[in-house]
Amino acid sequence: AQKVTQAQTEISVVEKEDVTLDCVYETRDTTYYLFWYKQPPSGELVFLIRRNSFDEQNEISGRYSWNFQKSTSSFNFTITASQVVDSAVYFCALSGLDSGGSNYKLTFGKGTLLTVNP
């Protein structure tokens, strides 16, 4: 079984603040993939990043950065100098084999609602 925990239900910051969204996962697989998605009020899921279990290299993309640590089963996401347009629900997700061992399933955390105030 696989599980993704996003302990922060809601976060509210003022524009230009840095904010970190936490994600902790559980899986028995040795090969798995981790994702972050953004869901604005319009509803579409916007892909942000994918990491496989063998690649612990941290990544920076503009104002976004991700810290993947297998030792703590965490895949945290930081937004630097937040902007109002960053306001959305952010989901961490894990793709691993289902209980039958033959299909990959994407399991989402409960999401973190980020509100960036002007």
Partner 1 sequence: DTEVTQTPKHLVMGMTNKKSLKCEQHMGHRAMYWYKQKAKKPPELMFVYSYEKLSINESVPSRFSPECPNSSLLNLHLHALQPEDSALYLCASSSLAKNVYGYTFGSGTRLTVV
Unique residue bearing structure tokens 């902790």: 24
Tell me how far apart the alpha carbons of residues 17 and 103 are, in angstroms, rounded to a whole number.
41
Question: Is 63 near partner 1 (CB under 8 A)?
Answer: no
Question: Is 45 near partner 1 (CB under 8 A)?
Answer: yes
Question: Is 68 near partner 1 (CB under 8 A)?
Answer: no
Question: Is 3 near partner 1 (CB under 8 A)?
Answer: no
- Among 99, 106, 83, 103, residue whose Cα is nearest residue 37: 106
Question: Is 5 near partner 1 (CB under 8 A)?
Answer: no
Residue 9 vs 71, nearer CB to partner 1: 9
Burial 9-19 (b: 16+ CB within 10 A, else e): eebebeeeeeb
Residue 56 vs 98, nearer CB to partner 1: 98
Query: How many residues in the shown chain lie near partner 1 by CB under 8 A?
Result: 23
**Radius of gyration (C-alpha) of the chain in whole angstroms:** 14
* Residues found near partner 1 in the complex (CB under 8 A): 33, 35, 37, 42-45, 47, 50, 52, 91, 95, 98, 102-111
